[in-house]
Amino acid sequence: MYISESEVRAALTYDELIPAIRQALIDFSAGRVNQPARTILRAGNAEGVRNGWFAVMPVVAGDVMGVKTVTFYPGNAERSLHTHMAVIELLRRSTGEPLAVMDGRLITEMRTAAVSSVAFAALAQLHFAQPPRSLGILGSGVQAHAHIQALGKVWPELRAKNIRIWSRTRVNAERLAAETGASAVSVEQASSADVVLTATSAADPVLLGRHVAPHALVLAVGATGGTLRELDDDVMKGSYVVAESRDAAEREAGDVRLPGAKVKAEIGEVLAGIGAVEIPREGRIVFKSVGMAIEDLTAARLVWHRRGGRV
């Protein structure tokens, strides 16, 4: 069975996905997920940042197995094409039978925003004395839009008028602001919010420590690759760093690798209270997301069940 993006959209909701992702992150940090490192191949289609990549992400968890093949081509934005595209195969663990093949682009979009929402809900409660009021977004693409939707599910105090959007292309920031009721602002204004989301394809830092509030929570989801980064040394070295996977972030994320930052905790450890994880009230917190196969598998399983499938 092939499940198209339109069918995924009809089946998958943040109301179901966010709590499912929360449990998946707990299971991952507790060692209940068999997830090897993703394999990434450069496409060699172009030079520099336009060079795309192709990745394979397998995982076994619970009663299912899955593999996502995903591509990222930054230059596609200039051609009015999605920069990320993906396909997910879902299999029955007990027999190895293929259950479904489904489009993975929207799943990637939604699970990324769901992960950030889970992290925000956990970290904001532990870090801020009072609920944060302002959200700054660096970037105006698919992930910026998805995060506004998903964060609204876990952040009832957030108002559209307190969302500040910056993009290197001003007209794109203005378009997203008009669609959501937010404001298009300078990078300094967006960077100084209580919570800052970086969702860009930047190769070099766009979030600079001198612009970031001393108490900020940063959700960093862009700059996919070990040589790319959105956050400068000041942000990374002066923050308490949390990630989905300690190993993956320190291996794959340029924001972590290049300044030599260390991941202090996995978000699954925070959620489950594993070990001596103590989120500080003072200083900055950075949550670095690189994306994991267990998140894709969790979303794919939800889609399969919503469409009447049984494992």
Cβ count within 10 A of residue 171: 10
Is the model's pLDDT at 181 over the cut of 70? yes
Provide the token pair at 183.
């404001």
Helix (H) or strand (E) segment spanning residue 184? strand 183-184
Q: Is residue 124 over pLDDT 80?
A: yes
Task: Of 106, 118, 88, give the one whose Cα is nearest residue 145.
Answer: 106
Per-residue pLDDT, averaged over 71-87, amounts to 87
For 249-293, write each residue's pLDDT tens digit: 999 999 999 999 999 999 999 999 876 688 999 999 999 999 999
Predicted pLDDT of residue 232: 96
Share of the chain above pLDDT 70, in %: 99
Residues 167-174, mean pLDDT to the nearest whole number: 95
Is there a contact between 281 and 127 (Cβ–Cβ < 8 Å)? Answer: yes
**CATH level 3 topology of 128-291:** Rossmann fold (3.40.50)
**How far is it, in rounded angstroms, from Cα 282 to Cα 239?**
10
CATH class of 2-107+294-306: alpha beta
- Which two structure tokens, joined as six digits, stand for 148? 């506004």
Q: Are 220 and 236 in contact (CB under 8 A)?
A: no
- Where are the domains positioned within the chain? 2-107+294-306, 128-291
Give residue 5's identity as a one-letter amino acid code.
E
The predicted model gives 26-47 an average pLDDT of 92
Beta bridge partners of 22: none
The model's pTM:
0.95
**Least confident stretch, 31-45, 55-69, 279-293:** 31-45
Nearest to 248 by CA among 79, 84, 27, 36: 36
> CA-CA distance, 156 to 135, in Å (whole number)?
13
The first and second tokens of residue 19, run together, are 């709590």
Nearest to 176 by CA among 202, 150, 221, 139: 139
